[in-house]
């Protein structure tokens, strides 16, 4: 079975940094679009960043220049380096994977992703 397990969430002061990790098992991350979504209370889930198997990265406007997505194919792990955190970044962060998808048009639509983790909470204060 495919499993995605996030870790690294915490409460961080505004301006601080945090790194999230997503350990993936049951599948390899080649030919897969993998990324991060987040959902704040009372709001819809939104795409944060994705990375394609070719290494291409895409970010939402709200995190562009502050967050960095990366992966380690040998560890089958996805990362999200979060810098200059703002209170507006407070949300549950989810790791998602879409086998066979190239992270192209509509990457921010959660329905494109087949597999999800359980989430890790990030609170910016």
Q: Which residues contact residue 8 at a Cβ distance below 8 angstroms, ignoring those fewer than 6 apart?
A: 18, 19, 20, 21, 120
What confidence score (pLDDT) does residue 39 get?
98
Percent of the chain's residues with pLDDT above 70? 100
* Cα dihedral 55/60/62/67 (nearest 10): -20
Residue 124 has pLDDT above 90, yes or no: no
pLDDT digits (tens, 9 = 90+) for 28-53: 888 899 999 999 999 999 999 999 98
The sign of the torsion formed by the CA atoms of 31, 122, 67, 63 equals positive
User: Please, are residues 14 and 28 in contact by the beta-carbon 8 Å criterion?
Assistant: no
Q: What is the pLDDT of residues 99-118, one digit of tens each?
A: 989 898 889 888 999 999 99
Structure tokens at 62: 């709200």
Q: Is the torsion defined by CA of 85, 48, 4, 73 positive or negative?
A: negative
């Amino acid at each position: 079975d495919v499993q995605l397990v996030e870790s690294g969430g915490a409460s961080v002061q505004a301006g601080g940094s945090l790194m999230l990790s997503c350990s993936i098992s049951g599948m390899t991350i080649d030919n897969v679009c993998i990324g991060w979504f987040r959902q704040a209370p009372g709001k819809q889930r939104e795409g944060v960043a994705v990375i394609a198997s070719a290494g291409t990265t895409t970010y939402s406007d709200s995190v562009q220049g502050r967050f960095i997505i990366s992966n380690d194919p040998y560890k089958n792990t996805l990362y999200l380096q979060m810098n200059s955190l703002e209170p507006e970044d407070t949300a549950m962060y989810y790791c998602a994977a879409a086998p066979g998808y190239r992270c192209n048009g509509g990457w921010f639509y959660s329905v494109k992703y087949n597999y999800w983790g359980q989430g890790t909470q990030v609170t910016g204060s």
